[in-house]
Amino acid sequence: MSEQQRENAWGLATRAIRTGHRRTAEGEHSEPIFTTSSFVFGSAAEAAARFSGDEPGNIYSRFTNPTVDIFQQRLAVMEGGASCVATASGMAAILATCMGLLQAGDHILSSRSIFGSTTMLFNNYLSRFGVETSYVPLTDIDAWRGAMRRETRLLFLETPSNPLTEIADISALAELAHTHGALLVVDNCFCTPALQRPLQLGADIVVHSATKYLDGQGRCVGGAVVGDGELVGEKVFGVLRTAGFTMSPFNAWVFLKGLETLQLRMRAHCENAAALARWLETQAAVERVHYPGLGSHPQAELCARQQRAAGGILSFRVCGGREAAWSLIDALELLSITANLGDTKSTVTHPASTTHGRLSAEQQQAAGIDQGLIRVAVGLEEIDDIRADLAQALARI
Ligand SMILES: *Cc1c(COP(=O)(O)O)cnc(C)c1O
């Protein structure tokens, strides 16, 4: 069996641990960090052949770096894509995708429930270069269909959405995109390939904020784009190597070590979140719990079909609006008040006054961001301790 055949037969956890590392002459077991800006050629002819592309190999770390390459190969096989390019942040991954695949006159059709900075990038910056974006409700396939234009080149979404955990039908939206000659881009940050593989469902591109679950311990900022050899391996990579918002070798090393435990961590995040969601539903001070693993969730059936588990993020609405939500958050002793998610440490936010604070009252209402809404990114502490902290905080409002 060739090395390639052996790797192709591996399951996800094995790929996440074993893919991409070509051991050096030192015989190291853990992947090395190559902190070098450039690489040496054996001769003038070799330098010329590398530069012309006739011969593969490293030239300069803005283009390629062996440590970054291990991370890219691992994430590519985990998502089931032929190519992956690593970026300096999740936002850099989205920018590189847009710069690589769009031109002036093109139109983006996006879910309205996306990361705030992504909306800013589309509205305030891409618009200056002649790319227009319009927004539709994530779960309304007829709205997506009705908003398609002749110039629509990209469909963009996150699923589950933040903070209401709404679920998009990836296969249906991929089909819609392809009937119109457009591409579907999925931000797979909340699920990771451990829970959902959008490329298998027909999406063309997956983007990641590696900052979240891929790292998993809140240490580094990074991102990635995964897809086929032409769209990602050539077009997006071309932007990256020229524009230079590449991932540093150190950060790549942190993320590739994070991938090794991704499946294990995601399973534990999901178990804790599911237990917490079920418990929150029984609490008198809680009006509504949003978690796709609950029977009360409007897309519970789609979630079960599309995802391996329901994820580590939930939100809930307390009676008493902002005042109650803020006093609950302030009473927490274990959970951290911070916007990051996908960390071993559980985190809590009040979306209406932070991540979604720039929206007007009408926009918040349309998006379902109530003043009493609280988001929890459930970490890996003992579930009894997480529950006890929320119980004592709920008792005070
Ligand atoms: C955090 C986040 C991003 C942006 O990633 P950065 O690494 O912070 O640049 C994009 N999409 C989603 C869903 C995120 O949660």
Per residue in 318-341, pLDDT tens? 999 999 999 999 999 999 999 899
**Fold topology of 3-260:** Aspartate Aminotransferase; domain 2 (3.40.640)
Q: What is the mean pLDDT of residues 359-370?
A: 87
Q: Which amino acid is at 181?
A: G
Ligand 1: residue whose CA is nearest its atom 2: 209
HSE-CB at 127 with a 13 A cutoff on CA atoms is 10
Report residue 23 CA to chain centroid gap. Answer: 30
| pLDDT at residue 17, rounded to an integer | 96
What is the Å distance from ligand 1's center to 223 Cα?
8
CA angle, residues 394, 271, 312, in degrees to nearest 5 = 70
Provide the mean pLDDT of the chain: 96
pLDDT, tens digit, for every residue of 12-37?
A: 999 999 999 999 999 999 999 999 99
221 CB within 6 A, ligand 1: yes
Q: Does the C-beta of 158 come closer than 6 Å to ligand 1?
A: yes
285-314 burial by CB neighbour count: b if 16+ within 10 A, else e? bbebbbbbbbeebebbebbeebbbbbbbbb
Q: How far is it, in rounded angstroms, from Cα 129 to Cα 131?
A: 6
Structure tokens at 129: 């270069």
pLDDT band at 72 (very low <50, low <70, confident <90, very high): very high
* Residue 76 contacts residue 206 (beta carbons within 8 Å): no
pLDDT digits (tens, 9 = 90+) for 80-103: 999 999 999 999 999 999 999 999
Could you identify the atom of ligand 1 that is nearest to the CA of residue 210? 7
97 lines ligand 1 (CB under 6 A): no
**Which of 341, 314, 134, 133 has the alpha carbon at shortest distance from 217?**
341
**What is the Å distance from ligand 1's center to 9 Cα?**
32
- Give 28: exposed, middle or buried? Use CB within 10 Å, 0-12, 13-18, 19+: exposed
Ligand 1 atom nearest the C-alpha of 221 is 7
Q: Is the pLDDT of residue 348 over 90?
A: yes
Specify the residue with its C-alpha closest to ligand 1, atom 8.
Answer: 90
Is residue 364 very low, low, confident or very high in pLDDT (cuts 50, 70, 90)? confident
Distance 39 CA to ligand 1 centre (A): 32
Residue 381 above 90 pLDDT?
yes
Q: Measure the CA–CA gap between 336 and 330, rounded to whole angstroms.
A: 10
Assess whether pLDDT exceeds 80 at residue 8. no
Parallel, antiparallel, or unpaired: how do β-strands 347-349 and 336-337 relate?
A: parallel
Alpha helix segments (H runs only) across the chain: 3-9, 12-18, 44-52, 66-79, 90-101, 116-120, 141-147, 170-179, 192-195, 237-243, 249-260, 262-281, 300-306, 321-331, 361-367, 383-394
Phi and psi, residue 108, nearest 5°? -105, 130
| Residue 293 pLDDT | 98
Beta-bridge partner residues of 38:
60
Span from the CA of 340 to the centroid of ligand 1 (angstroms): 9
Ligand 1 atom showing the smallest separation from residue 211 Cα: 7
pLDDT score recorded for residue 363: 84
- Please compute the mean of the pLDDT values over residues 114-128 and round it to a whole number: 95
Which CATH number is 264-395 given?
3.90.1150.10
Say whether pLDDT at 75 is over 80: yes
User: Ligand 1: which of 196, 212, 248 to mutate, most ligand atoms within 8 Å of CB?
Assistant: 212
Q: Do domains 3-260 and 264-395 have the same CATH topology?
A: no
Q: Distance, CA 161 to ligand 1 centroid (Å)?
A: 12
| 211 C-beta closer than 6 A to ligand 1 | yes
Above 90 in pLDDT, residue 229? yes
Indicate the domain borders of the chain. Answer: 3-260, 264-395
Angle 8-225-75 from CA coordinates, rounded to 5°: 30
Q: What is the mean pLDDT of residues 281-308?
A: 97
Distance 218 CA to ligand 1 centre (A): 13
Ligand 1 contact via 61 beta carbon (within 6 Å): no
Residue 265 Cβ inside 6 Å of ligand 1? The answer reads no
Torsion, Cα of 125, 129, 135, 139 (10° steps): -90
Q: Give the residue-averaged pLDDT of 195-207.
A: 98
Element (H, E) at 336: strand 336-337
